[in-house]
Every structure is written in C-alpha cells, then in structure tokens.
Structure 1
Amino acid sequence: MIRYALALLLLPAGAFAQSLPPDLVQARLLPGWQTEGGSRMAAFQIRLADGWKTYWRSPGDAGIPPTFNWKGSTNVRAVHFHWPVPEVFETAGMQTIGYHRELVLPIEVVPADPSRPVHLRARVDMGVCRDVCVPTEVALTADLEGPGAPDAAIRTALAHQPERSRAKATCTVQPTGDGLRVTARLNVPVQGPEETVVMEPVDPSIWAAPATVQRQGGTLTATSDLVASSGQPFGLDRSGLRLTVLGAGRAVEVTGCPAP
C-alpha cells in the first residue's frame, strides 16, 4: 500500500506566475513492488502541460537537472536511479537533453531493514521549460510497505534505459587553458541518423561541454572540453567516466575510457 502527500511550489511571482498553466506540473510517487533482492522498485512520475519539458541527469547547455533531497526519510540505506533514454532538443543554438510531457523515473530504494516499511520524504528541485524556464520544487512523502504489485509504467521505463555496453572505448586527454579536452573513440553500433555523445565525469562538479561527434563506420569519435566549477586544475577518473551515445529513441552507455 502507499500513502502520499504532494506539495508544489512555483517560484516566479507576479503577472508572470499568473500566466502559467494551472496544470504545469503534476507529480506523484508510483509505489511499485518489492524485488526478489529486498529492494523497492518505485518511481517518480512527472506530467507537464503541453509544450513543456524537463531535464535529464546531464541536461546539456542550459537545462536544470533534477536534484533529490531525501532528508527525513526512514529505513533507507541507498537510492538508485534508472534513467530512461532522453531526447535531445535544439533551442536557439543550444543543446539540451530531457523529456517532454512526461517522465517516469524508476527509483530503486534499498531499505536498511527489508522486513520493515520504508518512509520516503523527498524534495525534488528541477527546471521545467518552454519559451522560458521555471524553477520548480516538488515535495512528496510516501509509506512503502508490503509486496506491492507490478506497474506497467515503471516496467516500460526500465526497459527503455540506455543499453549498457562492454564495447571498446579509449580516450586521449589534453590540457586546455581552463581544464581538459577529452577525445573518446568508441566502437558502438549506429544509434540513429544523428548521434549525440554525453560525457559524465565521476565528479559532478566537473562540467562537460556538448561533444563534437564524427562517425567512420563502426567507430564514433567525440571530443568535449571539461572544466571544474572551482576553476582549479583537476584529475580525471578514467575508470568512472561515463559515455552515453543518444540516437533516435535509443542509446548505448559505456563506462570507463582508458588511454589508447
């Protein structure tokens, strides 16, 4: 069973706030089911007004990625996200990555004690955009207990994750004036007529610019500049560097990029 409460706060004020659609953001927790391993496979569902979008964990040039604060939750040892394949948007010469109309984000909750109910208290900060971007805060609480039941929306989102590949990837790294330039070469199948490569360092404070991408047969080459938010020099953990190739409704993900 699940019991949840929802509170929604839109931060803009005045006439602009009054012009927003009343159903701009609707959010809830899908209770899901208890897995054979004892974790809970739930999901965060957000529905947006027509024409609006929200963002992936790596949002691109101008997006606002969602952040989750679980303070106040009980019997929670760990939380793992299973992001479905996002879309790539081009707006005013900028590339952003996210979802339009709806996002079902599976959340695997690992309880400290699988025999006891899980109480979730989540504050989600995110951005939703159309012609303008609106910073949005969603507050949710839920009690997850019992075996639960299969949920088609969660299963669909889980099935639509990027394919995890053991394909060969190598990276060359060169220093730049304010960071590092990483050139990755991946032997992965074609994901569509237009491919986008996203580089995600282990350290979230390191920003990666949209990559330039070229393909020759089975080899995809992507180059991105990495800069630390501190402006200071940094080391790159090659073993944890995540490379995601996004295509036409599909994607492949490679983790680790050693030197050639």
Structure 2
Amino acid sequence: MSEYLDSVLPAAGADAPGLVLGEQPFDVAANSFRLLTTGPEPLSIDGAALGGGLPARRIALSELASILMHPSCGYPTSDRVWRLLIEQARTGGPAWVVGAAGVALPGLRQAAYRLRHYSGDVQAELLTAFVAVSRTVKPGGAKVAQRLLSATFTAARSALHAEEPIRTTAPVQAPVTAAGHPDMVLARAVAAGMITADVANLIGATRLEGVSLAAYAERHGRSYWAVAKERARAEELLVAAVRSGALSDDDGEAIAEATMTVAADPAHHG
C-alpha cells in the first residue's frame, strides 16, 4: 500500500506524462483519497484538539473537506486546519500527502479550468506543483489555503508554459532557469506572504501572459488606475525584497525580466 501511495502523487520534478496510466490524475487522487477516508480507521484529525468551532471529535478528511467548503467556515478555522494538513503532509508520510491533496481538490480543479488552454498535462502538473509547494509554503499568517493554491497554480503554469511549443510569432526572450522563472518568483513571493494571491495573478496575467491592464481591470470590474497602482505597489515591494535580501539575486533577475523589460501598456485614457 505504501508503494502504491508513493506512485499516486508525483514528487517535484517527476515526469508528468508518465505519471498515470489510463486515468486522469485527479481521478486517481480522488479515488485514493476516498480509500483513505472510509472504513473503520479513516485518515482523520482531532477536531476537539484543533478547536476553531470544529466538531469536538475525530473528523475524517472527507468530512473535513466538506466543512472547509461550507460558507460558515471562516478563514481562522481554515487556517488552523491547513497548518495541520501541511505539517502532516511534510512529516506524516505519503498517506497524508494524498490526504492534503484530496482536501485541496476543489481548488485544484478550479486551477485546472483556468489552465485548460495549455496543451500539457494540466492535472499532473498541478499535483506535482502542489506536492512541491506544500513542502515550502510558510504556514504562518492568514489565508494559508489561498496562498498554497495560488503558489501551486503559478508553479504549474510556469511548467506548462515551458512545455508549450515555440510559436514563431512570439517575441524572442532571454532564457531563464526554472528556479529563476518569473512565475516561480511570484509563487515563492505568495508562499512567503510578500504579496497576495490576487496580486500575483494580476502581475502574472499582465506581465507574463500579455493581458493589458485595461482588459484585466474590465474583467475584474475595477478601474484601470486602481489596477495600475496595485501592480506598481506590488512590483516596488518585490524589488525592495530583493534589495533587502528577502529574495535572492537570481529572483531579482527574474523580477526585472517580469516587471522592467516588458513593453509598457498602451496609453490609457478615461
């Protein structure tokens, strides 16, 4: 059983296309999660010890996932739960890695929908990224699940982008290492709590995906200037983090690529 669980979710850097034979990776993860959370001894947490308004008893992770999805579950309770899940995924063996991924599946499915235009194995890359990010994300601070999923999305998008066939109409860019790719820097910045998930998505869309600020603002029901100011403040924060040593010099090069060497947005009036 342990060997099977080891094969269910990929280690960081695993060969995504060879991950699953004949099934969608999310289906494999969901089935494994179901097996682990049913029966006489399901994978569970102690709700009484964790507190936060959770039922004061053992809670199977399948039930826990439903509790976290309910509108009555606030961020403080979610943060308590995810801090524990991250700790267990790091120290409790492969079953807890599957358990954490199973609880995160609704968010991972949303991320897969957003990445559906990529030609690579989106589900496998998201699971690969989730495993890697869960080992490095800082569980302190607020909105742990949101930061975890945003960093996962950004890392998976970076991997999928690197796998895309080169388009002859695309501008030529200087190559960067995977570790120094701007998308990976945004993922690390979110995981470290330097910027929010929404801000990372703003920078990623408008700096790396070619979405104009005007289009982004309209899509999100915000004014152009509010979005422009938010992006500018975030980019100043990232540059300051490099200068202070909070991010490495390699990160600084990637930030410069993402925020300083891209063509400026067309002049916006109104």
TM-score band w.r.t. shorter chain: under 0.3
Higher strand share: 1
TM-score by length of 1: 0.25
Higher helix share: 2
